[in-house]
Amino acid sequence: MSFEDSDNEVDQKVGSPSDATSTRPPSGTNAPLLKSYTYATPLPTDLKPDQECILGVDEAGRGPVLGPMVYGICYCPIDRQDELKTMGFADSKTLKEDERDSLLDVIVSRPDMIGWSVRVLSPMDISNSMLRQEKYNLNALAHDTTIQLIRDTLDKGVNIREVYVDTVGPPETYQKKLEGLFPKIAKITVAKKADSKYPIVSAASICAKVTRDDVLRHWIFAEEGIKDTISREFGSGYPSDPKTVQWLKKNMDPVFGYPNIVRFSWGTCKTLLDASGTAVRWPNEDEEDQRRISTLFNRTEKDASELAEQKRQYSTFIAKTPPRPVPQLMQDMGLKSVIDF
Amino acid sequence: MLEARLQTAALLKKILEAVKELITDANFDCSDNGIALQAMDNSHVALVAMLLRQEGFEPYRCDRTLALGVNLVSLSKVLRSAGNEDIVTLKADSSNDTLSLTFENPDNDRISEYELKLMDIDSEHLGIPDTTYDAVVSMSSAEFARICRDLQVLSDSVQIDVTKEGIKFAAKGELGNGAVTLKQAANVDKEDESTVIELNRNCSLNFSLKYLNNFTKATPLSSRVTLSMSSEVPLLVEYKMETGYIRYYLAPKIGDDV
């Protein structure tokens, strides 16, 4: 494909009806990011059945306290991997934002040869995973997400021969784990800084990084009441960014903490909440082994009949008023009312 | 209409001291039988049941049942202005939302009158079933208070073991362990200090010392206390008064070594 061809591709995209998103990567979202999602391109158009491919995996946004964490995979036929090098893929972190954006444009302009997908993990899902009772740490989340992306690609019928994975944890055990899970893949390489060593990982890294930047830049707050008024000066999201820290300090609600752009499980966040949040005492917190007397004694007959009467009155009242809709935020966050009348 | 005259304010003061830390608001249920109170603490772990029978008052008149919702902290503040020997008269009317208290000194030359605003309290009455307990231990109330106080230094909870030999209170904590054992009927001469055990079955239960220490605020009301226990059933700590009682019920803790 010549340079002109790829230009045409871009032109076509600009002229397409979805004009508003034309400068944005296709993997972004126009809805509030509450649930994690996966974006995947169709198979490369020139890919022949059973043609051997290499696949790279990288992540973006592991460190920040704000916004999603994104896993990207990128694949192309083995015999065309040299073409990637000529396209200029390098470590995404050493590139400037517009350089990265233009490299994603390069990837997008080659649907004949390159396929890719990203999984965008919402801050809410990250926090929930890390804070739930049986802790699910970031590494486990990283591994499971990567495995899922590879599996999805295999399920589409791509014949993956080689996989290159960038990791922050110890590469050896991770590599063994992947080799055990994907015995049919001939070569699996897990390495630190793989994105600077392997162009395919570098490409995957671009997909992940550009997607993360886009989601964060166009972040849509789901929280009613603050969504249009809250400051967007949250910076890069890294805890080392003074702008981010400033934003976190200014936008804390003493009871509810932060909107869902924030990863509550981060140390930065916990420190700030401990320092200026209002402490909530949960009656059961430190008395888990203490039984309630109200469960050991029964409510008296008289009270039971009174309760039944109240219930009856309440239900006739209910019948006259239409059921109240569940607030959108409660729906989005999977909350439900547990008070039983 | 309630009118109840109590010979000494001291009794009412002691009762208030005994309940006001556990519960803040409660209904005084007045009937021709006397004045009763039942309430759970905020975390629904303990229950207080108090009864002052009508014989304790002279005169006592209550022609229809009344529930007087009282903030116990306020009532105890008002009672502070009464002398221990003062005669107290309580008056309330169903048409009125106040409780009137009159204090007369023993020389009958000083009369003070207070009106306390009543409140609507949504109380949850629990049915307390008649229980045959595995172990009923009667002991000195001062001794019980001392043990609870001493063991609180070590732990938040106490394990109470009752056998026919005696009752053992044991606490395990970070700084060490401690245990106090009282032998059955060791003090036959001093009836007030003896420990008497009626036992159907040995039992071993865990309780919060914080709550037990709260219960011992009733110590001035009686020289004796009765602990009644069965597994899986709330502990009953009873202080008997001449014409009534204060009973505390405490849900056991789920012990790890029981």
SS (H, E, C) B195-240: CEEEECCCEEEEEEHHHHHHHHHHHHHCCEEEEEECCCCCEEEEEE
Together in a domain, A212 and A320: no
Domain span including residue A172? 17-217
* Cα distance between residue B185 and residue A149, in whole Å: 76
Give the 3-state secondary structure of residue A28: coil
The closest alpha carbon to A84, from A102, A101, A51, A107, belongs to A107
* Cα distance between residue A294 and residue A163, in whole Å: 59
Neighbouring residues of A5: CB distance < 8 A, sequence distance ≥ 6: none
Closest Cα in chain B, distance from residue A100 (Å): 57
In chain A, residues with a C-beta closer than 8 Å to the C-beta of B127 are 297-301
Closest Cα in chain B, distance from residue A236 (Å): 45
State the pLDDT at residue B122. 79
Ranges A32-36, A125-129, A329-333, B77-81: which has the least confidence = A329-333
Q: How far is CA A100 from the centre of its chain?
A: 20
Is pLDDT at A295 greater than 70 in this prediction? yes
State the pLDDT at residue A324. 64
Token pair for A338: 């547990």
Percent of chain A predicted with pLDDT > 70: 78
The verdict on a CB contact (< 8 Å) between B253 and A295 is no
In chain B, DSSP finds a helix count (H) and a strand count (E) of: 4, 19
Is pLDDT at A322 greater than 50 in this prediction? yes
State the pLDDT at residue A279. 83
Q: Which residues of B touch A (CB under 8 A)?
A: 40, 42-47, 124-129, 206, 208, 232-234, 249-256
Digit-coded pLDDT (tens) for B176-227? 999 999 998 766 677 778 899 999 999 999 999 999 999 999 999 999 999 9
Instruction: Say if A35 falls within a structural domain.
Output: yes
Digit-coded pLDDT (tens) for A125-162? 999 888 887 778 888 899 999 999 999 999 999 999 99
State the pLDDT at residue A304. 54
Identify whether the C-beta of residue A59 lies closer than 8 Å to the C-beta of residue A142.
yes
Together in a domain, A201 and A297: no
Q: What is the CA radius of gyration of chain A?
A: 25
In chain A, residues with a C-beta closer than 8 Å to the C-beta of B253 are 289-291
Token pair for A58: 């990288």
How much is the average pLDDT of B9-32? Answer: 94
Neighbouring residues of A323: CB distance < 8 A, sequence distance ≥ 6: none
Together in a domain, A21 and A111: yes
Q: How far is CA A241 from the centre of its chain?
A: 21
**Look-up of token digits 């926090």:** A127
Q: Which residues numbered 262-321 in A keep a CB inside 8 Å of some CB on B? A: 283, 287, 289-303
Instruction: Say if A141 falls within a structural domain.
Output: yes
Percent of chain B predicted with pLDDT > 90: 81
* Cα distance between residue B175 and residue B177, in whole Å: 7
How much is the average pLDDT of A163-177? Answer: 90
Task: For residue B234, say if its preceding peptide bond is cis, omega within 30 degrees of 0.
Answer: no
Digit-coded pLDDT (tens) for B242-251? 999 999 999 9
Closest Cα in chain A, distance from residue B132 (Å): 15
Instruction: Say if A166 falls within a structural domain.
Output: yes
State the pLDDT at residue A131. 86
State the pLDDT at residue A227. 76
Together in a domain, A326 and A207: no
In chain A, residues with a C-beta closer than 8 Å to the C-beta of B208 are 287, 290
* Cα distance between residue A295 and residue B101, in whole Å: 37
Beta bridge partners of B134: none
The verdict on a CB contact (< 8 Å) between B255 and A291 is no
Together in a domain, A317 and A201: no
* Cα distance between residue A206 and residue A198, in whole Å: 13
- Asked if A82 is an interface residue toward chain B (Cβ–Cβ < 8 A), one would say no
B229 pLDDT band, cuts 50/70/90, is: very high
Token pair for B232: 């899986």
Task: Locate the DSSP E strands across A187-276.
Answer: 187-191
Is pLDDT at A3 greater than 50 in this prediction? no
Is pLDDT at A305 greater than 80 in this prediction? no
Q: Which residue has the higher pLDDT, A49 or A98?
A: A49
In chain A, residues with a C-beta closer than 8 Å to the C-beta of B256 are 289
Residue A299: closest CA among chain B residues belongs to which residue?
B126
Ranges A14-28, A159-173, B6-20, B114-128: which has the least confidence = A14-28
Output the CA angle B240-A290-A282, nearest 5 degrees: 115
Is pLDDT at A111 greater than 80 in this prediction? yes
Q: Count the neighbouring beta carbons within 10 Å of the beta carbon of residue A14.
A: 10
Neighbouring residues of A192: CB distance < 8 A, sequence distance ≥ 6: A166, A167, A168, A171
Instruction: Say if A186 falls within a structural domain.
Output: yes
Give the 3-state secondary structure of residue B35: strand
Together in a domain, A58 and A156: yes
Interface with chain A: mutation pick from B42, B231, B253, highest number of A CBs within 10 Å? B253
Residue B250: closest CA among chain A residues belongs to which residue?
A293
A288 is in an annotated binding site: no
The verdict on a CB contact (< 8 Å) between B127 and A298 is yes
- A191 sits in the region (left: phi over 0; alpha: psi -120 to 50; else beta) called beta
Beta bridge partners of B36: B29, B51
* Cα distance between residue A213 and residue A218, in whole Å: 8
The domain boundary residue, chosen from A175, A196, A217:
A217
Interface with chain A: mutation pick from B22, B48, B128, B230, highest number of A CBs within 10 Å? B128
State the pLDDT at residue A300. 55
Q: How many domains does chain A have?
A: 2
DSSP string, A325-337: PPPHHHHHTT---
* Cα distance between residue A265 and residue A276, in whole Å: 16
Task: Locate the DSSP E strands across A239-289.
Answer: none
A294 pLDDT band, cuts 50/70/90, is: confident
Q: B242 exposed, middle or buried (CB, 10 Å; 0-12, 13-18, 19+)? A: exposed
CATH classification of the domain holding A153: 3.30.420.10
Residue B236: closest CA among chain A residues belongs to which residue?
A293
Identify whether the C-beta of residue A216 lies closer than 8 Å to the C-beta of residue A100.
no
Together in a domain, A329 and A183: no
Is pLDDT at A311 greater than 70 in this prediction? no
Identify whether the C-beta of residue A264 lies closer than 8 Å to the C-beta of residue B85.
no
The domain boundary residue, chosen from A175, A195, A217:
A217
Of A293, A298, A301, the CB nearest to B45: A293
Identify whether the C-beta of residue A73 lies closer than 8 Å to the C-beta of residue A204.
yes
How much is the average pLDDT of A43-57? Answer: 92
In chain A, residues with a C-beta closer than 8 Å to the C-beta of B233 are 296
Q: Which residue has the higher pLDDT, A276 or B71?
A: B71
Give the 3-state secondary structure of residue B4: strand
* Cα distance between residue A177 and residue A169, in whole Å: 13
* Cα distance between residue B92 and residue A84, in whole Å: 92
Digit-coded pLDDT (tens) for B75-111? 999 999 999 999 999 999 878 789 999 999 999 899 9
The verdict on a CB contact (< 8 Å) between A296 and B127 is no
A2 pLDDT band, cuts 50/70/90, is: very low
Instruction: Say if A339 falls within a structural domain.
Output: no
Digit-coded pLDDT (tens) for A208-231? 999 999 999 999 988 877 877 888
Together in a domain, A203 and A96: yes
**Look-up of token digits 């499980």:** A265
Together in a domain, A205 and A313: no
Together in a domain, A187 and A324: no
* Mean pLDDT rounded to a whole number for chain A: 81
Q: What is the ipTM of this complex?
A: 0.75
* Cα distance between residue A280 and residue A142, in whole Å: 32
In chain B, residues with a C-beta closer than 8 Å to the C-beta of A307 are none
Task: Locate the DSSP E strands across chain A.
Answer: 37-40, 52-60, 69-77, 115-121, 159-166, 187-191, 298-299
A306 pLDDT band, cuts 50/70/90, is: low
State the pLDDT at residue A90. 61
* Mean pLDDT rounded to a whole number for chain B: 92
Instruction: Say if A264 falls within a structural domain.
Output: no
Instruction: Say if A273 falls within a structural domain.
Output: no
The closest alpha carbon to A208, from A111, A98, A121, belongs to A121
Segment holding B18, helix H or strand E? helix B9-19
Together in a domain, A173 and A290: no
Q: How many CB pairs under 8 A join A and B?
A: 65
Is pLDDT at A18 greater than 70 in this prediction? no
Instruction: Say if A257 falls within a structural domain.
Output: no
The domain boundary residue, chosen from A217, A248, A274:
A217
Interface with chain A: mutation pick from B38, B124, B159, B256, highest number of A CBs within 10 Å? B124
* Cα distance between residue A163 and residue A183, in whole Å: 12
The verdict on a CB contact (< 8 Å) between B124 and A303 is yes
Q: Integer distance in angstroms from the first to the last C-alpha of chain A?
A: 68
Q: B57 exposed, middle or buried (CB, 10 Å; 0-12, 13-18, 19+)? A: buried
**Look-up of token digits 């700590």:** B237
* Cα distance between residue A86 and residue A6, in whole Å: 15
Task: Give CA separation, B160 vs B182, B202, B212, B255, in Å.
Answer: 11, 11, 12, 11
State the pLDDT at residue A21. 41
Sign, CA torsion B56/B61/B66/B67? negative
Is pLDDT at A4 greater than 50 in this prediction? no
Together in a domain, A186 and A95: yes
